[in-house]
Amino acid sequence: MATGAASAGEVPAGGQDFGTPAYRLYVLIFLTVIYTLNFIDRNLLGVVSQPIIDQFGLSDTQYGFLTGPPFALFYAFMGVPIAMAADRFNRVAIISICIAIWSLMTALCGFASGFLFLLLCRVGVAIGEAGSTPPSNSLIGDYFKPSSRAGALGIFGMGVTIGGAFAYGFGGPIGGLTNETVLALLAPIGLAGLPDQMGWTGSYGWRFAFIGLGVPGLIIAAIMFFTVKEPPRGYSDPPGTVQMEKSSILDTFRQLAGKPTFWTMAMGASLVAFVGYGLFSFQAPMAQRVAGIGPGEFALTFGLPLALISALGTFLGGWLTARLSARFSTAVAVIPGVGLLLAIPFYLTAFYQMDHASVVVSADGAKSVQGHWPALITWGLGAMFHYAYIGAQYTIGQGVVSARSRASAIAILLVMVALIGNGVGPQVVGLLSDLFMGMQLQAQGAGGELTNAICRARDLSALAETQQQICRAAYGEGLRQSLVAVTLVFIPAAAFYFLAARTLDRDMVASRH
């Protein structure tokens, strides 16, 4: 840390790792576990979405709002003041508090009695998660010297894809538990009467998923607070390291004003996130409505494999960019654009191949999904091409500004991605789904007697069999058409990446080789 003896702008630093090798490894693994938990809890709503829609009788527009704008707004803007606090106060304490907040709010989602209750809990999750990642990065920077820092951050970054996979791997099966199974699990700890006391109706599985994945976070927060040490700031930087004056947001905006590459890339990345968040929020409900695949079966049959394939696509996109950049200087912008265009036909084909998938129940009551392989293969290829863009957004985002403005440039990029992607994507999918569902009912000549509200009711037994069939078909087809329409947004997203390629060589400050 800076002392009175240090020259202006200089911080005495050890140039060595902080703590013993075993302890550093412990801290790194623990921070990665926390980052993984962050994405498990963030993604869980999308994994158990259809049971929640059924429970509270939500339209897709309402569910899109639940998963989109409020979470994105609080996540985008609360991260800045919390990150500023982490630059001044104890980072371990801040991370511990943030874990406790988002874990408690995740658990409380399971007790939600209505839409507003669930919405407020999701806002709490966003606030807690917004404050965890910046101080975690800062801790890793002080635990590891520069030569080993990149590798440590690479391990930490695996929490994104691991968290997505675990959300499906754990959240899906738990969310698919029957009410009898949930009661049997609660009985040994004396809580078998909890559902009746809380007035729960419908499926208990999705509630148990939130509670079961939220409560352990409170324990992890306590372990973090009592076992992770706060290192001196700048401890691992080499001796004599000059700490550059941090750039203000206004200074960064001034630099970016003359860098069209940044803005075209940022719009491309935001539109990709628009599609990505929209698909993630509604892909499980689409599978349930079209093919009868419940959250538990979808999680293991589609969700978990697709999460792993997406991670592979991210790796391959970076690897291909590194291989081609020496020959094609604009590869970092062109490869994402090409990948997005290739993803479109695979995604659209997969959505309609879901008609051939079905759930089969064996004699012992076990459920299995059959006929899903064609859809999974094409969906996986679409995901692989889709997620080849991620490395490019950070390479370009920090490469077009001076070193002292890189963090601010990435912060601006992430705010755009959060607001347009997470904030707008799910909302638009929900709006279009309701619109297309109504159009489907009109096309079947049932618009005068059947409405969206009637057809999405959990109990359709009061309707004639023909009307029930029309309702189910319109409910599924409306959402599928919405996902198809939103996937086509990859076309303008790709165009923005190609526009970024045209000015890339002129605007880049950092070397790409």
414 and 76 Cβ atoms separated by less than 8 Å:
yes
- Cα–Cα distance for residue pair 201/411, rounded to 1 Å: 42
Q: pLDDT confidence of 5, banded at 50, 70, 90?
A: very low
- Cα–Cα distance for residue pair 135/90, rounded to 1 Å: 9
Least confident of 49-58, 146-155, 248-257, 426-435: 146-155
- Cα–Cα distance for residue pair 156/179, rounded to 1 Å: 37
Question: Residue 7 — left, alpha, or beta (φ > 0 → left; ψ -120 to 50 → alpha)?
Answer: beta
CATH 1.20.1250.20 domain extents, the chain: 20-231, 249-508
Q: Where are the alpha helices (DSSP H) in 48-90?
A: 49-56, 60-67, 69-86
Mean pLDDT of the chain: 85
Q: pLDDT confidence of 235, banded at 50, 70, 90?
A: low
The number of beta carbons lying within 10 Å of the beta carbon of residue 203 is 23
Q: pLDDT confidence of 13, banded at 50, 70, 90?
A: very low
- pLDDT of amino acid 8: 33
- Cα–Cα distance for residue pair 274/272, rounded to 1 Å: 5
- pLDDT of amino acid 248: 66
Q: Rounded to the nearest 5°, which phi and psi values hold at 10? A: -115, 140
Among 419, 500, 346, which Cα is nearest to 79's?
Answer: 419
**For the chain, how big is the Rg over CA atoms in Å?**
24
Q: pLDDT confidence of 206, banded at 50, 70, 90?
A: very high
Residue that the structure tokens 């401890």 belong to: 235
More confident: 202 or 472: 472
Residues 371-382 have pLDDT tens digits of: 999 999 999 999
β-strand pairing of 358-361 with 367-370: antiparallel
Q: Please report, rounded to a whole number, the percentage of residues in the chain having pLDDT higher than 70.
A: 89
Q: pLDDT confidence of 512, banded at 50, 70, 90?
A: very low
- Cα–Cα distance for residue pair 184/208, rounded to 1 Å: 12
The CATH number of the domain covering residues in 20-231: 1.20.1250.20
User: Count of alpha carbons within 13 Å of 92, Cβ hemisphere only?
Assistant: 17
Amino acid at 354: M
Superfamily of domain 249-508: MFS general substrate transporter like domains (1.20.1250.20)
Task: Determine the 3-state secondary structure of 10 from DSSP.
Answer: strand
- Cα–Cα distance for residue pair 370/355, rounded to 1 Å: 11
Q: pLDDT confidence of 146, banded at 50, 70, 90?
A: low
Question: Mean pLDDT across the stretch 184-198?
Answer: 89
Residue that the structure tokens 């951050």 belong to: 153
Which tokens hold the place of 42?
Answer: 């963030």
- pLDDT of amino acid 386: 94
